[in-house]
Structure 1
Amino acid sequence: MRRTTRITAGAAALALLMTACGGDEDAGGGSAPEAGSLEGESIELAAVFTGAEQEALEAVLAAFAEQTGAEVVFTSTGDDIATVLGTRIAGGDAPDVALLPQPGLLKQFVEDGSLTAVSDEVAAAVDENYGEVWRELGTVDGELYGVWFKAANKSTVWYNTGAFEDAGAEVPEDFDAFVDTLGTIADSGLTPLSVAGGDGWTLTDWFENVYLRVAGPEMYDQLTAHEIPWTDPSVITSLETLAEIWTADNVVGGNSGAQQVLFPDSVEAVFSDAPEGAIVYEGDFVAGVISDSTSSVVGEDANFFPFPSIDGSPESVVGGGDIAVALSDSEATQALLQYLAT
């Protein structure tokens, strides 16, 4: 999956990102690349996508290739896309396009001169097909550098409805009730939580949701911008909150076993025919894994609730997304960005 270690932008901006409306629904966007206009051109696109998301992306790229005649090669970078891209950029072998899962990476690569601003045609497509907030989140120092390709609500907690019914567990309304629910499920004989500790980004997502609720959006923004240290009491409190639920008895495989579990496996552990756990936290894209990899039906065997409030914190959503950026300055690269924006 694309959900790598992604520290999102400010909480307020992310709330806008998740709810922003584009322009008129009937808007057609900028002109798409002409048929056959890129015959003989080759484009490499790099992203963290794997599995079903990779397949969906490759279908989009195949349609672009069929329309334009260009060859498009997809490269999966794995979770550590920042290191992979940085190494390739330093070696003079950067891909033409990358989907960045961290807004901070956009600024970083702009500041080190690795990215090319989008063309006027791409900018026109963005203006016609996206809300203003999307342009703002893709802009650095007044220049538009990217096209947002996908966004996700990463404040959803998924549960096996049958396991809840068997345990007599109820959907929790706040974090204290969540802790109680874990205990109820454990008492029924089923391990409550499935955690993908083998994918660092899932642990980061857990932390972001807890921190936003413990410290609030202003401090969340400050931590994201490195304006407060990771030794701040708010960070310690958030980690202690996670430690309260990430106990060996609460986590499938125990703490050491969970460190070997990858994200898709963590979902399957909850929604397989013989579930090992009852709850898995991650974004709305969990639904795709459930449908692709298990026989469970979303809305029947699988459901979700919002990440619970902590000590009366307001309802909050952590969002994530991937922004397509140009690492090479070519007509074909800009044509692909234009296609993704229309």
Structure 2
Amino acid sequence: MKTQRRGRLLISVAAAGVAGIALAGCSGGPGSGGGGDDEGGGGDNVVTIYGTIADTEAELLEESWADWEEENGIDIQYESSKEFEAQIAVRAQGGNAPDIAIFPQPGLLADMATRGFLKEAPQSVADNVAEYWTDDWAGYGTVEGTLYGAPLMASVKGWIWYSPSTFEENGWEIPTDWQGLLDLTAQIQSDIGGPPWCVGFGSDAATGWPGTDWIEDVVLRQSGTEVYDQWVANEVPFTDPAIKSAFDEVGKILLDPNYVNAGFGGLDTIVTTPFGDPAAALVSGECTLHHQASFYDGFITDAGGTVAEDGDIWAFITPGFGGETGDGAVVTGGGEIVGAFDDSESTVAVLEYLSSPEWANSRVGLGGVISANKGLDPENASSEILKAAIAILQDDTTTFRFDASDLMPSAVGSGTFWQGMRDWVNGTPTDTVLEQIEAGWPSS
């Protein structure tokens, strides 16, 4: 969300309901556009945007385009919802689509495009995408050869958050491979006499997505890019031994009551713990290790911690299994793709701005997020961990893959996969979970 959304905050904690855009409103059938058409609907030069980015992040989002709105005489009206994944289709079908939607999952954007709801990206947006984004990122907004959406923000996933001072005091070393991470986990458990890891899957309607991130990290690192890409396309099903192996490896941590859930209770608290809550446990020292994306530095800061190599909390990338292709980092990541249900002049202008380096630098400069836009100045990032994440994204030697669940059809990616992760940590056998997830894959 899968989002930012600080990165993936997008799927988690939205506060607004779904009525706001209706006030700015529009009418019309599928694909007919939203509330900001210059010829009617919400009024001249009003552009409505619907997404999952909420609370403080939503305020920063609106601040990021405020000057541009004034300069261009366009009123952008943003609404967030924790029910975005379900409501966007309902609204499109009912003729009440927003002008623009910020999709946390490319797979959901693809669903909307193939059903005829989305407009093809205008040429000015296509030009921005070609100039400022890699072919991989352009591909996340492309459906059957047609560009429908432009990337927005991004996150680098797979960071392991820890306290540098605690590691130094105990003589713990940063692991260089996956087995080393398992060995470190066992060592910490032995040294402190309790579980090292804190884990939270809770995210309202999206509960379970943090678990998919663990699986995706291991599939990519253990089996490589070819298997990962085939898995996204269901050429390698969830029941394949490569995917089961990833579950088995992750289970060595997440299913071991000796290792989880520091500060919250037993394994039964994984699903009920909101994904943002472990930040406070990290800062207080109740928790030693936590797996979460680059956007999590904002949660740690909000919890009173400083994020730096010599600060309260720092992070290292989940190590690989050895033998990965390339000389750079091997990482998964996420982000949002912006698509439009309307092609009015004002909507096109907003789309063009959101796909530009000017917007990326504006938003990143406000703190808490990053972007993969090649026109972004890394020095605008608000923390060292975000600068490190940008460096990874901009490094040509990095092996990067978008969050698999976000690329899969929504029936799986934000459906049976999320549910499967909830069932799995609550005790359902792995083979049963994999069969149930795979059963959600659309037949056509």
**Which TM-score tier does this pair reach, normalised by the shorter chain?**
0.7 to 0.9
**CA gap 1:141/1:258 in 2 versus in 1, 3 angstroms:** closer
Whether the 8 Å CA contact 1:123–1:144 is kept in 2: the answer is yes
C-alpha RMSD of the superposition: 2.5
Deviations 1:195-241 (A, max 9, x none): 12213221111110011122221111111111222111112111111
- Give, in angstroms, the shift of residue 336 of structure 1: 0.9
Give 1:92's aligned residue.
95
Q: Distance in 1 between matches of 2:181 and 2:66?
A: 44
Whether the 8 Å CA contact 1:122–1:337 is kept in 2: the answer is yes
- Give, in angstroms, the shift of residue 333 of structure 1: 1.6
In structure 2, what residue type is equivalent to 1:82?
E
Give 1:183's aligned residue.
186
- Give, in angstroms, the shift of residue 98 of structure 1: 1.3
Give 2:287's aligned residue.
277
Give 1:72's aligned residue.
76
Q: Distance in 1 between matches of 2:9 and 2:107?
A: 13
Give 2:303's aligned residue.
293
- Give, in angstroms, the shift of residue 127 of structure 1: 3.7
Q: Give the SS at the match of 1:122.
A: helix
**CA gap 1:248/1:44 in 2 versus in 1, 3 angstroms:** farther
Whether the 8 Å CA contact 1:4–1:202 is kept in 2: the answer is no
Match of 2:320 among 291, 298, 309: 309
Match of 1:249 among 255, 258, 264: 258
- % of aligned pairs identical? 33
In structure 1, what residue type is equivalent to 2:309?
G
- Give, in angstroms, the shift of residue 297 of structure 1: 3.4
- Give, in angstroms, the shift of residue 45 of structure 1: 1.3
Give 1:325's aligned residue.
339
- Give, in angstroms, the shift of residue 73 of structure 1: 2.3
- Give, in angstroms, the shift of residue 294 of structure 1: 1.9
**CA gap 1:134/1:224 in 2 versus in 1, 3 angstroms:** closer
Please state if 1:224 is matched with 2:232: yes
Q: Distance in 1 between matches of 2:302 and 2:220?
A: 31
The aligned runs of 1:14-163 (5 Å cut-off) are 40-78=44-82, 81-163=84-166
Which segment drifts farther, 308-317 or 238-247? Answer: 308-317
Whether the 8 Å CA contact 1:194–1:277 is kept in 2: the answer is yes
Which segment drifts farther, 104-113 or 305-314? Answer: 305-314
Which segment drifts farther, 202-211 or 310-319? Answer: 310-319
Give 1:202's aligned residue.
210
Q: Give the SS at the match of 1:158.
A: strand
**CA gap 1:135/1:242 in 2 versus in 1, 3 angstroms:** closer
Structure 2-normalised TM-score?
0.64
Moved over 6 A (4+): none
**CA gap 1:126/1:228 in 2 versus in 1, 3 angstroms:** closer
Q: Which runs of 5+ in 2 are unaligned?
A: 12-41, 357-444
- Give, in angstroms, the shift of residue 311 of structure 1: 5.6
Which segment drifts farther, 184-193 or 245-254? Answer: 184-193
Which segment drifts farther, 119-128 or 141-150? Answer: 119-128
Give 2:275's aligned residue.
263
Q: Give the SS at the match of 2:288.
A: strand
Whether the 8 Å CA contact 1:208–1:318 is kept in 2: the answer is yes
In structure 2, what residue type is equivalent to 1:144?
L
Q: Which runs of 5+ in 1 are unaligned?
A: 7-37
Which segment drifts farther, 94-103 or 129-138? Answer: 129-138
Give 1:215's aligned residue.
223
Q: Distance in 1 between matches of 2:237 and 2:125?
A: 38
Whether the 8 Å CA contact 1:214–1:238 is kept in 2: the answer is yes
Could you say which structure has the greater relative contact order, defined with CA pairs below 8 angstroms and 6 or more residues apart?
1
Q: Give the SS at the match of 1:219.
A: helix
Q: Give the SS at the match of 1:194.
A: coil
The count of corresponding residues between Structure 1 and Structure 2 is 308
**CA gap 1:67/1:263 in 2 versus in 1, 3 angstroms:** farther
- Give, in angstroms, the shift of residue 132 of structure 1: 4.6
Structure 1-normalised TM-score?
0.81
- Give, in angstroms, the shift of residue 124 of structure 1: 3.1
